[in-house]
Every structure is written in structure tokens, then in C-alpha cells.
Amino acid sequence: MNLLTVKNCTKYYGSRLLFEDLTFFIEQGQKVALIAKNGAGKSSLLKIMQGLEPAESGTIEFNKNYSVGFLTQNPEFDPNKSIYEVILSSSNPLIQTVIAYEQALEGIGSLEDAMEKMEAKQAWDYEARVKAILTQFNLADFHKKTAVLSGGETKRLALAMLLIDEPDFLILDEPTNHLDLDMIEWLEEYLSKRTLTLLLITHDRYFLENICNEILELEDKKIYKHKGNYSNFLENKANRQESDKSSVEKAQNLLRKELAWIRKQPKARTTKSKSRIDAFEDVKERATEKVKDERVDLQIRMQRMGGKILELHNVKKAFGDKVIVDNFSYKFMRGERVGIVGVNGTGKSTFLDMITGLQKCDSGNIVTGETISFGYYKQEGMNLKGDMRAIEVVKDIAEVIPTDKGFITASQMLERFLFTGEQQYSYVSTLSGGEQKRLYLLTILMANPNFLILDEPTNDLDILTLNALEDFLDDYRGCLIIVTHDRYLLDKMADHLFVLEGMGKIKDFNGTYREYRAYLKEQEINKKKDEKQNTVPEKKVIELNEEKKKLSFKEQKELDEIGKRIPKLEKEKEAINQLFLNPNLDAAEIKENSQKLANLINELDTLELRWLELSE
């Protein structure tokens, strides 16, 4: 059964054709990713799906029997509402059931109907589930106004709302942006284990590998379908490109034969020869096609690096009571590659700012070698002027750029970063978010740094650019520090990790991110084993009938009294539960009995724990 049907959809951005006659379907239970290079029209396609923009032609239809939830890149909420008020304002039937029940307790509406709906929807523990998901997304301050939320918090709130609402069909646009690594892994597990229908736009290749069972590739203004995950996609795309190359070569061979034939023809053409000449034109068009090799060429000439690189001596940094770095020392070596990980708020960006001199440490020393030239791709540092053209941005830095193979012009440099001639003269404000990030990365690399620092470089970059960035970093001979939520990139690029554990503690872990996660899991297993082993001696003492501590007279009396008290409380609990079956109970009586029941349950829990303690 199709939950989404896209038929013959065409869209222009200004005068530029984004895609033409797109047709695809998403069936119930499919987990599909849509991938494309920046500017190909992914965001436009999503806006058409949401009804925010029209298509030039074609139709997009959702199955009306199923609910759809969208996560956009820049969600917005009522700034006057708190996080919890935003949650309660949802149109989710379950939330409305809870609100109706709370209103009925206050005398608004039928309490009996409200209770029946609560029971039918199993909504009694809903508030606890809502708060658990908000806490998982680091939104534990439920009364915080959305007006003061950061961009990352706003994105996390929108994602949390979707998971709480549980729509039948989830459409997520870059869901991992602004999530820390723990949250990303939690979300990956959640989406992979749930039976749901999913359309995902993401550059997170572990998501593509572990969650998706089909990938839609938007390229050359049309859709290519790839069954399977990211590995299958890479294999299928490589085969397609090889096939394209082969078919062009065959067409070129055929062209030579046809060319020899057509040159022999007299000017007066017969019908038969005319048809062959028409066919020749088709072959010629095919033979002269260029097989696209869209790779970003990031070659630069790195500045010479001396003996002293970067040294940190007993560095300390705090903001009030919040300690970022506490007495940290480290000496960087040539070509070192470090990944920095830690939950949001532990101070990763502050640590990078101190290294590059943008912030001072409270005490200690940071010594930078005389030959060191930093290239700092800063998470919030992009300040490109929207009224400048892309080529003007590059020419403002240099008209001619040195590389390992000589010199190239600003236009040639832009071409290597996949900016076409038309895009080079486009205003920055008209470029997509990913294209602007690509241009920003180019301005950083043009300085030919020998110590590269990348703070969340993958946000809004397409997979093509990410692959190119990885190729460049593979060959890069300078030092590298990288902060990223892209686990794939982190695993490939970092030889060891600085783990910011909070309270200023930084752990130097000698291994990749995947090895670090395996280490944490092993630590957790060992901890549970130790806890289990610590309980074994007590059991053995009892089993071997060794001398057991006797209860005092007072303790024995308490045990007997608890044994008599528990059955009485169980009867009282059952009696109150029976009262709730009476349809004539008014709101005041329900409230009073609910409080009695809560008190009884708490007392029973306390007595049962004490009884177990005394019995053992």
C-alpha cells in the first residue's frame, strides 16, 4: 500500500530546472533515504510535499488514512509558550485525551467519557513518557520558553514532538543536525527497531547503512532507485557509471562507422538513407555525451611546518561554576589527528577557541609554533555576504591560488568545488545552505593551513562533498582536530580522541570512535558483572547454612506486624479500585480516592521493601 505517490513532478528554482517528471512511490513499512548533491532540489521537493510551494507540474499525494509528521531543517514555535505547553498544543489524539481528562477533573465535560477514552488509549502513563523523551533530548527544563531556545534546542524539540506524536509516516530533513553522538545513536536504534514508514534526508552514512532499505538518488534532474542500504547504493551507482561509460564508448565506435558511411552519401537522399542519417544524429548525440565525474578537487599547497607544533600546559578554563578544562596538558606531534567528543554543553567549541587564541585560558599556557597556520572552520563562523557573488568571495581572498601542481585562478578553484560557471556568478544569498557551507570551506582551505580545525563541518554538506573532504583529509599532511557528529567521518579521520567528560575532565582515548563506543560497552558489562559477583557471597552463606545473623526482638516484632499489615492494605487498595467502577462518582470523590490510592501504593512499596530486608 502506497503512503506517498509522486507522479511526473517538475520544479524550477527561478529559471533553473531542479528536476523534471519525477515519479516514485513509498510503500507502508519502507525506510527510504533521499540523497542528492546540494542545490539539486531536495528541500524544494519537501516543501512541495508540505504544501509550502507549488510544483510546475505533476502531483504529490499522501494516503489520507495515515498520519504524516514532518521534521523541517528550521522549525518554528510560538515564542510565548513553554516547551511543555508546545507539547500539549499538539493535535495528537492521545494528548487531547489527556487534556480532556484533566478538564473533566475540574468539572468541564463528562468525567465518565474521559475515563473511558483514557482507558481505551492506555493514556494513564502518557505524561511520564512525554517527559522521558524530552529528557532524552536534553530538554528537561519543561517550563523554558521556546523564545530563548537555541537553534539546536528548537530542532530537538521538533524531533521530540514527532516521536511523541508517533505518526504513521515520518519525513525527516537532516534529523541528526544539532544532536550529540549519544542522542544520534539513540535515535538510530529507535528508528531501526520501530515498525514505521520513513523518508529521510540525511548525510549520516551510518543512518543510511543501518536504517534504510531503499535509497532514492536525485541526480541529473531525475530519480534513480537503489534497493538496499548505503553499501548497496555505492555498488549500484558505481555499476551505473561504468555502464554509462561503456555505452558512450560503444556509441563512439558506432559513430566512426556511421561517419564513414554518411560522408559517402550523395546529396540526393533516398527515404532509406534519410532514416539512417536521422539515426546517425542520435548516435552522435550519445557519443558526444560527457560521463560526469563530479568530484571535488581539494588540492592545496600546505605551508611548511617547523619542529614546535602546539603545546598546552596545565590549562584551566571555567565560566562561573561551570568548569570547561581543568589542568589539561598535551603536546601535539606532526601529522596528528584528533577527534573531540562529548555531550552538548561540555565545551568543545570553547576548547577550540582557546587553541586558536579566540578565547584566553584562566590559567596555564598555550604555546603555538612560529610556523603554525590555523585553518579554523567554525560552526558559527560563516559570515559570507549575501550580496556578493561566489567568485567575488574567492577573489577577495586571492585572484590566483597556489596548489601542489602550480597555480590556478579563482574561477578554476570554484570549478574544483563543483561550482558551475552560472553558480560562480550567483549571489551568495541564492545558494543553498550546503553550497554556502562548501564555499565557506573553500575560503578556509585557500589560506593553505598546516593545522586544520573543523568544528561540525558536515552540517548541510552533501555526501559528494563529504567524500571529497575525506579524500582531501586522507592526503593532508598537517595536523587535524575535528569535532563532528558524523560518526563515519570521525571513524575514518581521527587516530585518537579527546573525550570531554564534564567538570573539566578530558580523557585521551587511544583509538577510533567505534573502538571508544565498544570500550564503553565493555566497561558497562564489567560493572554489571562486578555488581553481580558482589552479591554472590551473601547467597552462598545462606545456601551453605552458615551462621546467619539473628533478628533482634524488636526487628522480629516489626517483621510480624508488616506481614499482617500488607494484606490489609491490599484489601483497601482493591476496595478503592472497585469504587472507580461506579459511574455516579463526582469529580471531588474521584480526586479524593485517587489521592488515597496513591498513598496506599506508596505505603505498600515501603513495607514490602522493609519486609524483604528483614526476611533476608
pLDDT in tens, 197-251: 999 999 888 889 999 999 999 988 889 999 998 888 888 888 887 777 766 666 6
Q: pLDDT category, 427, cuts 50, 70, 90?
A: very high
Mean pLDDT, residues 83-112 taken together: 81
Task: Please give the pLDDT value at position 541.
Answer: 44
Mean pLDDT, residues 536-553 taken together: 52
Q: pLDDT category, 96, cuts 50, 70, 90?
A: confident
Spatial CB neighbours of 593, under 8 Å, sequence gap ≥ 6: 576, 579, 580, 585
β 374-377/451-455 pair status: parallel
Task: Please give the pLDDT value at position 255.
Answer: 58
Question: pLDDT tens digit string along 246-276?
Answer: 666 666 666 566 556 555 655 544 454 555 5
Rounded to two decimals, the pTM is 0.69
Specify which of 82-86, 282-286, 346-350 reaches the highest per-range mean pLDDT: 346-350
pLDDT exceeds cutoff 60 at 89: yes
pLDDT exceeds cutoff 60 at 284: no
Signed CA dihedral, 436, 438, 441, 445: sign only: negative
pLDDT exceeds cutoff 60 at 411: yes
β 68-71/169-173 pair status: parallel
Q: pLDDT category, 564, cuts 50, 70, 90?
A: confident
CB distance 484 to 337 below 8 Å: no
pLDDT exceeds cutoff 80 at 189: yes
pLDDT exceeds cutoff 60 at 29: yes
Nearest in space to 19 (alpha carbons), one of 217, 265, 233, 190: 217
Question: pLDDT tens digit string along 453-477?
Answer: 999 888 778 887 788 788 778 888 8
Task: Please give the pLDDT value at position 424.
Answer: 92
pLDDT exceeds cutoff 50 at 279: yes
Question: pLDDT tens digit string along 44-84?
Answer: 899 999 999 999 999 999 999 999 999 988 888 999 999 88
**Which stretches of 149-292 are DSSP H helices?**
151-165, 181-193, 205-210, 230-263, 271-287
Task: Answer with the residue of higher pLDDT: 461 or 18.
Answer: 18
Question: pLDDT tens digit string along 121-152?
Answer: 777 777 777 778 888 888 888 889 999 988 77
pLDDT exceeds cutoff 60 at 294: no
Query: CA 106 to CA 391: how far, in whole Å?
Result: 65
pLDDT exceeds cutoff 90 at 332: yes
CB distance 469 to 457 below 8 Å: yes
pLDDT exceeds cutoff 80 at 331: yes
Q: Is residue 328 within a helix (H) or strand (E), and if so which, with residue range?
A: strand 322-331
Signed CA dihedral, 108, 87, 71, 382: sign only: positive
Query: CA 495 to CA 338: how far, in whole Å?
Result: 6
Task: Please give the pLDDT value at position 547.
Answer: 46
Query: CA 613 to CA 166: how far, in whole Å?
Result: 42
The pLDDT > 90 percentage for the chain reads: 32
Task: Answer with the residue of higher pLDDT: 362 or 90.
Answer: 362
